[in-house]
């Protein structure tokens, strides 16, 4: 009997061990599958500028502390929470460990590391001051992220309120107005113009809401594809800068980005033609791309940056004079940074003014729209005695 019990116990332990092995192999298979999926995403993965700014700042701090590049990348790989970016850092670290340049390793992931980052790393490798230049890049990325967040936070509230107003108006027209319309038909008299218009609009929306949504979706898709073409981008950028208030804000932000990017690259030792190429690629605006092409052509012919800026209407007079002063004093990057600071301050002022004005404007807008609908619905009730009398 004891022998039988021992054999039974051994068989049970063997079964438990096999089950554990199956479980471990299952989870290991799941982990490997996820790893392969992340590796596929890595080549086309677009890293947020905020995450790139944090990575750059941490890398610069580690290098300034005397940590070797491979060790710094190893530490960043361990502490990065983004699984796809962790794979990217691992691949970059492996390339650097094999003796390749850091810039070349990052260049294999162009959507994660933008042109500005790669060019600055190249300049840092050439000059031997990689840590210092990465610190400058991190500062630039942080300033850009901060400005972008300000614009987004200023726009979030009005967009949310307008979207809520559109939903509310559609609910009133599709579900509430028909109830009043059925009641008004019993009066047997002609309804006031605003009320009749609202009822007709309600009937139209009820009968065609799916077509309207479909048309809106198709229109959005057509517009998206059109703006991806060169002509479409040019048309969109022209329309955007002509918008009241917001157009001026976009111009200030674009000019600030142009000047700061150009100054950061120039100060880091990047050749001027390469600077203009990167500025054009990172601007996102056709006006800046056209300007950079003209400036590049002029410099190739022996001219100066300020000569071309004077002939481009997109750049304001202050920028023309400041750039010329920078060339005369040999402090072009310093002047460009001052111009960028000025336009950042101007953009902050516009955002602050918009934030303070948008709230009362939206309240008035909602009051007029919703109040107008309510008044139009209650007008026949206010005239009930005359309608019944007739």
| pLDDT, tens digit (0-9, with 9 covering 90-100), for 97-118 | 998 889 889 888 888 888 888 8
Residues 6+ apart with CB under 8 A from 281: 115
Torsion angle in degrees (nearest 10) through CA of 300, 257, 53, 331: 60
In whole angstroms, give the CA distance from residue 171 to residue 134.
Answer: 53
- Name the least confident of 13-22, 297-306, 369-378: 13-22
**49-113 against 139-390: fold identical:** yes
**CA distances to 72, 101, 130, 228, 341 from 94, in Å:** 13, 11, 19, 36, 39
Tell me the mean pLDDT in the region 347-351.
85
pLDDT for res 218: 93
How many of the other CB atoms lie within 10 Å of CB of 9? 10
pLDDT for res 139: 87
pLDDT for res 26: 53
> Do residues 98 and 85 make contact, with C-beta atoms less than 8 angstroms apart?
no
Q: SS in 3 state form for 266-313?
A: HHCCCCHHHHHHHHHHHHCCHHHHHHHHHHHHHHHCCCCHHHHHHHCC
Q: What pTM does this model have?
A: 0.74
| pLDDT, tens digit (0-9, with 9 covering 90-100), for 73-100 | 999 988 888 888 888 999 999 999 998 8
Percent of the chain with pLDDT over 70: 88
Q: Which residue has the higher pLDDT, 230 or 16?
A: 230
Torsion angle in degrees (nearest 10) through CA of 323, 326, 327, 331: -140
| pLDDT, tens digit (0-9, with 9 covering 90-100), for 195-213 | 888 888 888 888 788 888 8
**CA distances to 12, 202, 345 from 147, in Å:** 65, 43, 10
**CA distances to 28, 134, 267, 317, 343 from 58, in Å:** 32, 9, 21, 39, 28
Dig out the tokens for 318 from the structure: 């202050």
Average predicted confidence (pLDDT) for the chain: 81
Query: 49-113 — its CATH code?
Result: 1.20.81.30
Backbone torsion region of residue 84, taken as left when φ is above 0, otherwise alpha when ψ lies between -120 and 50, otherwise beta: alpha
| pLDDT, tens digit (0-9, with 9 covering 90-100), for 262-288 | 888 888 888 888 888 888 888 888 888
Tokens 């917001």 -> residue: 246
Extents of the domains making up the chain: 49-113, 139-390
pLDDT for res 4: 45
Phi, psi of 247 (to 5 degrees): -60, -45
Q: What is the three-class DSSP state of 140?
A: helix
Query: 139-390 — its CATH code?
Result: 1.20.81.30
| pLDDT, tens digit (0-9, with 9 covering 90-100), for 151-185 | 887 778 788 888 888 888 888 888 877 877 777 77
| pLDDT, tens digit (0-9, with 9 covering 90-100), for 128-138 | 788 888 888 88
Q: Which residue has the higher pLDDT, 234 or 361?
A: 234
């Amino acid at each position: 009997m004891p022998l039988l019990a021992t054999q039974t116990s051994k068989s049970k332990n063997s079964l438990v061990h096999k089950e554990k092995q199956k479980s471990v192999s299952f989870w290991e298979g799941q982990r490997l599958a996820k790893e392969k999926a992340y590796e596929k995403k890595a080549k086309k993965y677009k890293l947020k500028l905020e995450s790139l700014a944090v990575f750059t700042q941490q890398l610069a701090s580690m290098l300034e502390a005397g940590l070797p590049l491979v060790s710094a990348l190893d530490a960043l790989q361990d502490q990065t929470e983004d699984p796809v970016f962790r794979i990217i850092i691992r691949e970059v670290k492996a390339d650097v460990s094999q003796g390749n340049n850091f810039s070349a390793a990052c260049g294999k992931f162009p959507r994660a590391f933008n042109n500005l980052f790669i060019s600055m790393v190249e300049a840092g490798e050439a000059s031997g001051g990689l840590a210092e230049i990465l610190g400058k890049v991190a500062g630039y990325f942080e300033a850009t992220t901060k400005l972008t967040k300000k614009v987004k936070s200023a726009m979030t509230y009005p967009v949310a309120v307008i979207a809520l107003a559109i939903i509310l108006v559609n609910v009133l027209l599709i579900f509430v107005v028909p109830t009043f319309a059925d009641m008004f038909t019993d009066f047997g008299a002609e309804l006031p113009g605003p009320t009749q218009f609202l009822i007709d609009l309600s009937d139209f929306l009820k009968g065609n809401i799916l077509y309207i949504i479909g048309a809106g979706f198709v229109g959005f898709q057509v517009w998206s594809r059109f703006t991806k073409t060169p002509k479409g981008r040019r048309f969109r950028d022209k329309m955007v800068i002509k918008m009241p208030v917001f157009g001026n804000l976009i111009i200030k932000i674009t000019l600030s980005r142009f000047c700061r990017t150009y100054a950061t690259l120039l100060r880091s030792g990047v050749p001027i033609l390469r600077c203009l190429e990167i500025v054009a690629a990172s601007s996102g605006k056709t006006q800046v791309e056209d300007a950079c092409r003209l400036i590049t052509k002029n410099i190739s012919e022996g001219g100066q940056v300020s000569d071309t800026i004077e002939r481009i209407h997109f750049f304001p007079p202050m920028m023309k004079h400041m750039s010329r002063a920078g060339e005369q004093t040999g402090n072009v990057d310093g002047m460009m940074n001052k111009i960028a600071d000025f336009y950042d301050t101007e953009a902050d002022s516009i955002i602050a003014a918009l934030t303070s004005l948008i709230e009362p404007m939206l309240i008035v807008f909602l009051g007029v729209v919703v109040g107008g609908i309510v008044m139009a619905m209650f007008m026949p009730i206010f005239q009930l005695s005359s309608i019944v009398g007739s």
